[in-house]
Structure 1
Amino acid sequence: MTVKLSLSTLADAGKTATVPGYDPGHLSAGILHFGVGNFHRAHQAVYLDDLFNLGRDHDWAILGAGVLPSDQAMRDKLAEQDFLTTVVEQDNNKTGARITAPMVDILPVGDSGAIVAALADPKIRIVSMTITEGGYFIDAEGHFNPAHPAIVADSQNLAQPKTVFGLIIAGLKLRREKGIAPFTVMSCDNIPGNGHVTENTVCGLARLSDPAFADWIHQNVAFPNSMVDRITPATGKREIDLLNHEFGIDDNWPVFCEEFKQWVMEDNFPAGRPALEKVGVQFVVDVAPYELMKIRILNGGHAAIAYPAALLDIHFVHEAMEHPLIRAFLAKLEREEIIPIVPPVPDTDLNDYYQLIERRFLNPKIGDTIPRLAQDGSNRQPKFILPSTVDRLRQGQDIVGLSLVSALWCRYFAGTTDSGKPIVFNDASAEKLQAAALEAKDNPDAFLTFDEIFGAVSGSEHFRSRFAHALKTLWTKGTAETLKLYLDDRLVS
């Protein structure tokens, strides 16, 4: 018998899944969160669920918010089941399901009036976000881009903002007018210095129309940096059917994820915070070493294997890691070019950390996919791969493997796999990237003209030479043979 998930059926769902040990009806929102996607529900929401199960901090529940059309589908699906989520945690040797209930509601999507009013509620003391790497309006160097059309539009009409950052500004302005202390703004996205980046975007947008208020935000609002980590694939029919079959629970939008999770934060919350240290969150003075380690080694690793796997018609991440050439390629790239330029991390051996990453990538149960890793490369490459390239070039070190990663991305955007199958892109810049990738077959520099992606890297003659040779080899010899040449230290011009 299948149980349709809702508050009224929690007891029945509890026969196969762990259910909340607290009464969701007694929670009140202290956090407004933008971007109620899979990662948020597998990460921040799970930590809060753990905390609430300890009987702690029930005034720190989540009020969801969104500004994108895709957020409406999430709101509709979750509202049908009282904003509950089934989280299926999958390790290599076990699988378990839990139902989480830390979310009390999701505001009407894109309703600036309702969202700003909620932001001005004194009970809201933290505003958090998972809006993806591409949602921060920054260029390839990580600087705020004031010319982005969405930013320009908000700067001209902050009374009815459309972006997350415009809404935050409007909420802060209303709080100041009412004499309410500002909330803390907490990014949970994979961006180096995500707190600093968030502050730069909020203040940058505010400065376009009200420089004095931008200064006030800088002086009065906290933007703690954080590092977040949990591999969380997209939800599709496979996941919904698995939950139904294995646990007898009918959830409109369950979340499947690995068992491992990590959250490291700066403890900078003037308006207060939940006692997340009680459930495994690590509070540190400086997040940067942890953040850089994770972004370069884990996210960079994902970005590195995505495109050779796609070109070799591999669908699942664990299958890519089971391919001897791809696994060896990643190991060589990490050990020779990425890990050596990652600064030391307190109480952490970087090679042991990579071994952990390798085991996590090999987990067959979570069903993470290569198309997920390959999406949105125009935002991910400048954050996960190219910074390592920049650092090595500055130090006068070679970048054979990192240039190959960029060449593989270019070859992928030519639109067909090595076997001739068409590739379906998921990237806001797909059209112009494909045009450039096709031109780059004969003129490799054509793919390096996007300053918003490659920045100063494209000005390096050494990088252009390595990139051109790798790309030519991919076209003439194919992906597998190119990887073999790299592994044999023979991919040099």
Structure 2
Amino acid sequence: MTQPVAMPAYDRTKLKPGIVHIGLGNFHRAHMAVYLDDLFAKGLAMDWAILGAGVRAGDARMREALMAQDCLSTVIELDPSGHVARRVGSMVGFIEVQPDNAALIAAMADPAIRIVSLTVTEGGYYVDPATGAFDPAHPDIVADGANPLRPATAFGAILAALRLRRAAGMVPFTVMSCDNLPGNGHVTQAAVVGLARLYDAAFADWVQANVAFPNGMVDRITPATGPRERAMAAKFGLGDDPVPVTCEPFRQWVLEDNFPAGRPPLEAVGVTFTPHVHAFEAMKIRILNGGHAIIAYPGGLMGIEYVHEAMAEPLIAGFLDKVERDEIIPIVPPVPGTDLGDYYTLIRSRFSNPEVADTERRLCLDGSNRQPKFIIPSIADSLAAAKVPRGLILESALWCHYCAGVADDGSVIEPNDPNWDRLQAVARAAAQDPAVWLGMEDIYGAVGRDAAVIACFAGFLRDLGARGTRAVLADYLQG
């Protein structure tokens, strides 16, 4: 007997698009799409439905899957007390994915579209890790700068549509990042304006002055879809859905109220609008995302598959507790209306949810993009306070040891980073000279040149190579 599925509690024929969203991965469909689904169920803002879009080849496969099911997404909340499934109906179409993005540009030029939102991953904003600034020399950006009428990137398409709207005397849409980046609005603005400046300085100035890029903090743990998730969908009679989404029950969205072209009343469904987004995002990035990194690499080296299993390992859970309470939480700035200790308790329980079955390998993915955002700033802040954060430095040594590509039991760790070849070569060289790992200037910057960090890192890395993860964690926890 199949379990019941909640269907959209509104007439989808009454929906009209007001948002183009670029990047229809699992997170978007379990987060922003769900908030809008809840809003439409209240009979509100029916002219703010989503048009899906993408700029990569993989997006075309997602388009095919979703269009075959009338753009409905299966979302299964993984509460330990039982799974709850719903069909989310807030998306009403998916723009054809084209190499020159002509259809996407035309859709964004439509005056009915007042927000263009993005989930293009942390690494999709063309940020130079060494400087933290937009990288105008990236080949993708150089190509779009040379051919702005046939752009291949999301930012190039956004600019082409903004140029059409300006020529027609239309109000520009708001550009809203939903990616997990510090100051994601500022980062998006830098990418869009920086690309425009490559071919039209006056237009870049107009974008800078007239287009809104609100900052936002987003949060919901959403594992990748695989056989387990498809089997769950089948239990609800949705076995023909190739792209179901599973997620934890918790979700959070914090936004700056900076939408000159208008916005849906998302506060009616739990979104927090505040001028203090930076405080919320610092809390989340340091405590949650930093926490993910802390448990990821020891679990990966110890052969642990799932995050909740890592949390059940006393050495890893103890490592997380000690680093969070001694080194991260004390340097996180205050957050309005939030107790940081209570927030960490919530995070810890979320990590321990066995129903989510998030994998350690997913948490280990893309450290070259994530470490400079989630871990290294906490090290830098500790150094500025005249403290050497041994636990965070140990986390960095664990990442290095993981990237060498051999687990503690001798098994091979398969490539797990866009820059894996480089990282593996440097990690293996670091076994003889640990300082070469910290010498990756684009990742570590000034932190990697600090003498105390170098000495502490070298000791941990050599100890990991000689004695293994368990022994090193045990020694760290014993002080």
Number of residue equivalences: 477
Partner in structure 2 of residue 6 of structure 1: none
Q: Does 1:85 align with 2:73?
A: yes
Which stretch shifts more, 447-456 or 315-324? Answer: 447-456
Partner in structure 2 of residue 368 of structure 1: 358
Q: Does 1:57 align with 2:40?
A: no
Q: Does 1:137 align with 2:126?
A: yes
> Map of 1:154-169 to 2, 5 A cutoff?
154-169=144-159
Partner in structure 1 of residue 232 of structure 2: 242
Partner in structure 2 of residue 115 of structure 1: 104
1:217-259 deviations in Å (ceiling 9; x for gaps) = 1110101000000000000011101221355553221100000
> Map of 1:454-473 to 2, 5 A cutoff?
454-473=444-463
Partner in structure 2 of residue 10 of structure 1: none
User: 1:199 and 1:64 mapped to 2: Cα distance?
Assistant: 21
User: 1:200 and 1:121 mapped to 2: Cα distance?
Assistant: 24
Matched-pair contact (CA < 8 Å) for 1:375–1:426: yes
Could you state the TM-score of these two structures normalised by the residue count of structure 1? 0.95
Q: Secondary structure at the match of 1:252?
A: coil
Q: Secondary structure at the match of 2:198?
A: helix
Partner in structure 1 of residue 24 of structure 2: 36
User: 1:164 and 1:465 mapped to 2: Cα distance?
Assistant: 43
Amino acid at match of 2:301: L
1:363-419 deviations in Å (ceiling 9; x for gaps) = 000111111111111101111111101111122111101111111110001111100
User: 1:319 and 1:340 mapped to 2: Cα distance?
Assistant: 27
Amino acid at match of 1:81: Q
Q: Secondary structure at the match of 1:128?
A: strand
Partner in structure 2 of residue 433 of structure 1: 423
Q: Secondary structure at the match of 2:7?
A: coil
Matched-pair contact (CA < 8 Å) for 1:139–1:453: no
1:99-152 deviations in Å (ceiling 9; x for gaps) = 101111111123411111111100010010011100001122421111111111
Could you state the TM-score of these two structures normalised by the residue count of structure 2? 0.98
Which stretch shifts more, 134-143 or 166-175? Answer: 134-143
**How far does residue 353 in structure 1 lie from its aligned partner after superposition?**
0.4
Q: Secondary structure at the match of 1:87?
A: strand
Matched-pair contact (CA < 8 Å) for 1:16–1:248: no
Q: Secondary structure at the match of 2:134?
A: coil
Q: Secondary structure at the match of 2:410?
A: coil
Partner in structure 1 of residue 283 of structure 2: 293
Q: Secondary structure at the match of 2:254?
A: strand
User: 1:471 and 1:295 mapped to 2: Cα distance?
Assistant: 25
Partner in structure 2 of residue 146 of structure 1: 136
Q: Secondary structure at the match of 1:234?
A: coil
**How far does residue 433 in structure 1 lie from its aligned partner after superposition?**
0.5
Q: Does 1:384 align with 2:384?
A: no
Structure 2 unaligned runs (5+)?
none
Structure 1 unaligned runs (5+)?
3-14
Matched-pair contact (CA < 8 Å) for 1:184–1:271: yes
User: 1:177 and 1:196 mapped to 2: Cα distance?
Assistant: 25
Partner in structure 2 of residue 231 of structure 1: 221
Which stretch shifts more, 23-32 or 379-388? Answer: 23-32
User: 1:321 and 1:299 mapped to 2: Cα distance?
Assistant: 15
1:61-120 deviations in Å (ceiling 9; x for gaps) = 111111112212211111111111111001222221111011111111234111111111
Q: Secondary structure at the match of 2:93?
A: strand
Amino acid at match of 1:390: A
User: 1:76 and 1:237 mapped to 2: Cα distance?
Assistant: 19
> Map of 1:408-419 to 2, 5 A cutoff?
408-419=398-409
**How far does residue 462 in structure 1 lie from its aligned partner after superposition?**
1.3
1:275-329 deviations in Å (ceiling 9; x for gaps) = 1000000101220000100000001100111110000000100000000000000
Matched-pair contact (CA < 8 Å) for 1:399–1:466: no
Matched-pair contact (CA < 8 Å) for 1:226–1:263: yes
**How far does residue 25 in structure 1 lie from its aligned partner after superposition?**
2.3
Match for 1:100 among 72, 78, 88? 88
> Map of 1:8-407 to 2, 5 A cutoff?
16-111=4-99, 112-140=101-129, 141-247=131-237, 249-407=239-397
Matched-pair contact (CA < 8 Å) for 2:126–2:138: yes
**How far does residue 466 in structure 1 lie from its aligned partner after superposition?**
1.2
User: 2:437 and 2:275 mapped to 1: Cα distance?
Assistant: 40
User: 1:245 and 1:422 mapped to 2: Cα distance?
Assistant: 35
1:154-191 deviations in Å (ceiling 9; x for gaps) = 11111111111111111111110111100001011111
User: 1:163 and 1:248 mapped to 2: Cα distance?
Assistant: 34
Q: Secondary structure at the match of 1:127?
A: strand
User: 1:427 and 1:41 mapped to 2: Cα distance?
Assistant: 24
The RMSD of aligned alpha carbons is 1.2
Amino acid at match of 2:120: I
User: 2:63 and 2:453 mapped to 1: Cα distance?
Assistant: 45
User: 2:478 and 2:201 mapped to 1: Cα distance?
Assistant: 56
Q: Percent identity?
A: 57
Q: Secondary structure at the match of 1:260?
A: coil
User: 1:279 and 1:232 mapped to 2: Cα distance?
Assistant: 20
Amino acid at match of 1:119: M
Amino acid at match of 1:67: V
Amino acid at match of 2:74: T
User: 2:360 and 2:73 mapped to 1: Cα distance?
Assistant: 25
Which stretch shifts more, 448-457 or 300-309? Answer: 448-457
Matched-pair contact (CA < 8 Å) for 1:142–1:197: no
